[in-house]
Each structure stands twice: as structure tokens, then as C-alpha cells.
Amino acid sequence: MYNFLIDIFGSPVIAFFVAAALPLFLFILPYALIAVLAERKVSAHMQDRLGPMRTGYHGIFQTVADILKLIQKEDITANSIDRTLFNFAPYLVFIGSFAAFAVLPFSSFFVGSSIDIGLFYFLAISSLVVAGILMGGWSSNNKYSLLGAMRSVSQIISYEIPTAIVVLTMVMLTSTLNLDTITNQQTAYFWNWNILGGAATGIAKFLLIPLMFAAFIIIFISTLAEVNRTPFDIPEAESELVSGFFTEYTGMKFAMFFLAEYANMLAVSFLITVLFFGGYHSPFGYLGNSLGIEWLVPIEQGVWFATKGLTFVLVQMWLRWTLPRLRVDQLMTVCWKYLIPYSVAILLLVGFITLI
Amino acid sequence: MKQYFINTWEGLWTVLVGMKITFKHLFDPAVTIQYPDVKPTMPERARNRLFVNMDDCIGCDQCARACPVNCISIETLKSTPDDTPGETSQGKKKALWVTKFDIDIAKCCFCSLCVYPCPTECIEMTKVYEFSEFERNDLIYKFAVLTPEEITDKTQKYDEFQAAKEAEKLAAAKAKAEKAKQDAAKKADDNPDKKAE
Amino acid sequence: MELYDIIFYLFAAITIVSGIVVVNAKNIVHSAFSLLLTFFGVSGIYVLLGADFLAIVQIMVYVGGILILLLFGVMLTNKITDVEIRSGSFQVFPAIIGLAAFAAILFGVMTSTNWKTESFEIPATTTFQLGRLLISEYALVFELLGILLLVALIGAASIARRDKE
């Protein structure tokens, strides 16, 4: 992809910036447009309502209208805030969530950065989000913001552990940290996906399937908590904390936080897709291959990847409008007493199975 | 230990049950009424904006007196016989010109108490519920049909009539007095005749 | 100037500027947050040196762990944020002499030392070799570090635990 861009632009510097900005314009912004609307529509229909209906057919331009509104909004900065940190925090949060996209393989043509520590990088770079949240919460000089930030950070740090252990399990199974290699190990049909035991053969595959399902559920729950979505939205908890760490933010800075939240949702969904559901590989084979049109295959792969990722985003929304918010002690119980022991057990069992 | 696994199972299972319920509702038809496009149907005896049929109003002021919040103010003018307001639809003669019939709907409490005393059933609660305005003064509805010129005209007429009546009365009184005088004079005249007989 | 040079100077600038802010900031929270940028810049330089694993560990451990811990400590003990930290200049003249002497010595050493240079191809990734070394040659050290961390964890848990009386 990078070489292709160098060919087009003739300069590695321009190609570098274009390659870096491409996921933003190709995936995150259109996705955010769709996802915010989808969130409102899904929530509305789950509650037997209609949702936005008046901007365009069934309100499809509602997000566009909202963005236009947010751009026009006055940028309110209270007097007693810490101005430097307050202005920097939204960008840090967005950098953290956007940087995670750098290592994701979107299709065989568009792999991002195929580095051998991709998974590790993915987990590490999200700590910038943590710092950004803390920065925003503290600099707002508002008790609700600070409480929200504290809750958010403690939650993310706690839930990083089960995520990391499950990722470690997958690393043991695939014996690589490169997300592209992990994807390519699950090539061909859907029975090669890691959720169905991956490329293992014989009895090991059947032993792996239940473990992989459990690992998938654990990482889904823990990443859901990491992106601060309901039922783990105690950092935002509208009924208690106004809106958590971004209470004081207005206009485009608020939009940055909002975009970062949605980008995070997509990033963790893509991570789950790569780890368990074959990444960009089609479950059935490619139309481009059977028709003999070579350039169709990468596009198909991109579509498959986006479809799988968006499915998990939809499930996240579905859960959000199904479950009430957890209490803080319940949150910690779920993490420390349930997810971590189970994930450690899975880690040991998978290690044992991969050895034999 | 057994409780631990039961908890795990219940946690997952109840989440799935909840998800099933929300999934079902995803396909249920929405109960939302798309208000400005689709109007909600009002119940039979809904009490909303007041309406006065001025053709039937006889200016009896009963509705204004019944109103608990004094939102109706009525002023009337007596009519002259040559220029009467006509009859109500039920054939009742109207004796008064209604020069002012204002309802301050902003004050109205929609109690419908003004509707019951009306003898001609001309004031009623309608089903119109969209009557927001930008100016508070616009919420004062003026039902009187007479124009200011007409009112001055009527007032003048009434005054003239009144004056005429006065004059008539005066004339009548004068005539009466004259007649009495005449009668007296006649009597006085008659008597001598009788005496003469 | 190559692309890598630009990136190197960018990271170097981030590291140095934020390092100066860490030392000079009046507000201790500002110091802590610019420490984040310092760590970030250092990890960028690690990447340019071919030590990708180390760079990620730098972000994971320092930004994700230690810095957050530090911030929690600073924010939860609100007395610290209220205290006026004096970062004025004391004894400027002796400090300049000391610094100049140190710089001169450092520069002298750097120029006079006969650095051993050897052509060496930077491996595309260090993860594999690091992993292999950690579980073969340095297995004992690795395990001992693990046990040390476990001891620290258990110790923290036992300190934090409320005594039942």
C-alpha cells in the first residue's frame, strides 16, 4: 500500500502522510457518521420509538446536521480550568484511539503497518487514551469530571488485564504478534477462524472451540469495558456525573471526544475480528477469484473486514440498550473475580493444548 | 465453588435473555406518532381552544361571570329598534350589540365552566390545540365582529335613539301635561255647560 | 533531509522540550503530564533505533502504568496540587560553572574515545530474539523478576487489606 502510494505521489513524505491519514478518512469518519445515526436508530427501535426522522429520508442526514451544529457551537472554556491541558486532552484521546488503527490489516492490499509487535502496540497505545481522559477530567476543575476520569481510568486499567491475558492466549495459539500474520493464518474458509479452533487439526481443534468461545466472550466484555460503553459506562453515568470527564467540553472538542469514543469501539471490534473471526478473510471464498478479476479481491476483503467489525459495533449497541449500568463494586467483581480467573484458566488450557 | 459457576452461567444467560427481548422489540412497530405530520386524534370531549359563534351570542355576560380566572371580558351596547342585531339561529331575538368579546386564552384554564351557562350555546371548546404565538398579546382573541366605525355608529345611533326617546318621553310628558291641562280646561269648560243645562 | 531525519528531530524536540517542562513547571500535574510526552518521545527514538519491542514496552509500562499511578497519586493527594512548588533559580553562578565543567568533560570523553564501530544489520524485529533470550539464556533472571513482581503484588494486596478485628 505504502509503495503504491509512493508510486502515485512520487514522494515518500507525501505518501507517508497520505497513508497515515487514509484510515481516518476511509474508515473512521464515514463510520462515525453511520454509527452515531445507527446508535440512535437502534436504540429508538429497541424502545419502540422511531428516532430521528426529519433530516432526510428517515433522518439519514441527522449526523451531518449534528456535525454542522457542533462546528457552529461556541467553544466555552470556563475561567477556572487549566487551559493548556484542557485544550490538549481531546487531541490526546483522539490520537490514542486513532493510533491503534495503524497496525490493523484492513485488506491484503491495505495492511497498515505490518509490524511484528502489532498486538502489543495495540494494547500499549490505548494507554494514551487513559492519560488523555485523566488530563481532560483533571483540567476541567470540576468534581464530576474528575470523578468520571478517575472511574474511567481505574476501569480501563482493570479491564486491560483480562484483555491482555486473552490476547496472550491468542499469541500462544498463533505464535505471532503480527496482526497480518494472524489474519493470514485464518485464511480460506470460516472453519479456519480462530473462534473455531484456527488452523489446528484433529482433536486439538475440537478441544479449542469451547475455549475460544469463552476467550471471545471474555475479550468482548473486557474491551466493551475499556471503551466505556454501557453496561460499563460508570465513567459517564449521566444520572450521576452529568457526562463524566467531558462535562465541561463544548463544540468541536466535545466532538473529538465523541469521535474518539466511537473510533475506539470500532478499533476493539476490529481487534476481535482479527483475533477470532479471520480478519479480512471471507468466510466463503472470493467472487474475484472465481471470476478471475484480481483487483476485486482486496475490495471484497475490505468489505468483509468492515462488515465483521461493524457487526461487533452493532452488538455493542445492542448490549448498551439492553443492560442497565453496573455498580462500581459489581464492575470490579466482574473483572477481578470472574474474567481474570477464567482468562487465566483458558490461557493455561490453551497453552497445554498447543503443546500436545 | 458451585455458586461461582452458577453465577457465571446466570450472568451470561440473563444477558442473553435481555438481548432476546430487545431484539424482539427491534422489529416491533414503533408507537411514536409523527406529530406535525400525523396529528393525534383528540378524545370526544377534549377541551382546548375556546370558540365563540358571534351570530348566536346575545351578550348576556353569563360566561364572563362563570369564568374562574376572568379571562373573558364582554362589553355590550343596547340596540335601537330600527337597527337590531337580528335573531339567533334558534330564533331568539338579540337585544344587544356585542362591542367587545375578548378571551385571553393565555389565562384560560380550560375548565369549560363558561360553556354550560350559555343560553344560546354559542361558546364552546374546540379541538384545536395548536395556537402558540410569539407575542403574548396575540393570545387575546377578539371575537366581536363590529368594526370601530360601526361601534361609534351604533353608539351614536343609540345615543340619538336615546335622545329621541328622551325627547319623545319629554314630548310625551309635555303632551300628557298639556292633555291634562286641556282636560282640566275641558272639564272646566264642560262644567259651565252642565250648569247651563 | 530524509523522512527519518525529520521524524527523529521531531521526537527529539518533543523529548527535550517536554523534559524541560517537567523540570520547570510550577504545577506538579503539568510536570506529570509532560512526563507523558517525554516517555512518548523517548519511545519514538527507540523505534528509530530499531528497538521496536523496547519502544512499546516503554509506552506500556511508563505511560500506561507508572505515569497513571503517578497521576493518581498526585490527584488523590490534593494537598500536593495546592502547594506552591518553588522552582526558582538558586545559586545560578556555581550551577553554571558545574554544568559547564560537566559538559566539557562529557564532550571531551565523547570526542576522545575511540568508539568501536562495526557494520551491523539492524534486525527487522527484535521481538523474536528477545523472547528467545528471555526463556533460554536469561531464564533465571526473568523468573526471578517475575517472582519479585509477584511478591510486590501480594505485599500490596496484604497492605491494602483491611484488618478484621
> What's the ipTM?
0.75
3-state DSSP call for residue A175? Answer: coil
Considering the domain architecture, whether residues C144 and C80 belong to the same structural domain is answered as: no
Considering the domain architecture, whether residues C128 and C82 belong to the same structural domain is answered as: no
Which residues in chain B are closer than 8 Å to A42, comparing Cβ atoms?
A: 26
In a domain, C38, yes or no: yes
Nearest CA in chain A to C39: A128
Domain ranges for chain A: 1-72, 78-355
Considering the domain architecture, whether residues C3 and C58 belong to the same structural domain is answered as: yes
In a domain, C101, yes or no: no
B10 Cα to chain A: minimum distance (Å):
12
Kindly report the pTM of this predicted structure.
0.78
Nearest CB to A134: which of C40, C68, C128? C68
* Cβ atoms A338, B11 nearer than 8 A: yes
Which residues in chain A are closer than 8 Å to B27, comparing Cβ atoms?
A: 45
| Tally of structural domains, chain C | 2
Query: What confidence tier does C86 reach under pLDDT thresholds 50, 70, 90?
Result: low
| Tens-digit pLDDT profile for residues B119-158 | 888 888 888 888 888 888 888 888 877 788 887 887 887 7
Nearest CA in chain B to A316: B19
In a domain, C93, yes or no: no
pLDDT at position B197: 46
Among candidates A121, A101, A139, A122, which has minimal Cα distance to A247? A139
Q: Which residues on chain B place their C-beta less than 8 Å from a C-beta of chain A?
A: 7-8, 11-12, 15, 18-19, 21-23, 25-32, 34
Q: Identify the domain containing residue C75 by its residue range.
A: 1-87
- The half-sphere exposure of C22 on its side-chain side, counting CA atoms within 13 A, is 15
Q: Does residue A124 belong to the interface with chain C, where contact is any CB pair within 8 Å?
A: yes
- CATH code, C58: 1.20.120.1200
d(C-alpha A125, C-alpha A121), whole Å = 6
In a domain, C136, yes or no: yes
| Tens-digit pLDDT profile for residues C88-104 | 667 788 889 999 999 99
Which residues in chain C are closer than 8 Å to A125, comparing Cβ atoms?
A: 59
Considering the domain architecture, whether residues C83 and C135 belong to the same structural domain is answered as: no
Q: Which of A41, A54, A314, A322 to mutate to test the interface with B (most CBs of B within 10 A)?
A: A322
d(C-alpha A267, C-alpha A224), whole Å = 11
In a domain, C130, yes or no: yes
- The half-sphere exposure of B163 on its side-chain side, counting CA atoms within 13 A, is 6
> Is the torsion defined by CA of A129, A131, A137, A139 positive or negative?
negative
Considering the domain architecture, whether residues C55 and C128 belong to the same structural domain is answered as: no
Kindly state the cell numbers that stand for A86: 484542557
Q: What is the mean pLDDT of residues A188-200?
A: 72
For the domain covering B50-146, report its CATH number: 3.30.70.3270
Q: Do chains C and B touch (3 or more CB pairs under 8 A)?
A: no
Nearest CB to C127: which of A16, A117, A125? A117
| Tens-digit pLDDT profile for residues C112-141 | 888 777 777 766 667 778 888 888 888 899
Which residues in chain C are closer than 8 Å to A16, comparing Cβ atoms?
A: 3
* Cβ atoms B71, B102 nearer than 8 A: no
Domain ranges for chain B: 50-146, 148-185
pLDDT at position C78: 60
pLDDT at position C79: 56
d(C-alpha A87, C-alpha A119), whole Å = 30
Q: Which residues on chain C place their C-beta less than 8 Å from a C-beta of chain A?
A: 3, 6, 27, 29-30, 33, 36, 40, 52-53, 56-57, 59-60, 63-65, 67-68, 71-72, 75, 124-125, 127-128
Q: Residue holding cell 473510533?
A: A263
3-state DSSP call for residue A7? Answer: helix
Q: What is the mean pLDDT of residues A183-198?
A: 75
Considering the domain architecture, whether residues C10 and C82 belong to the same structural domain is answered as: yes
A210 Cα to chain C: minimum distance (Å):
29
Calculate Rg over the CA atoms of chain A.
Answer: 21
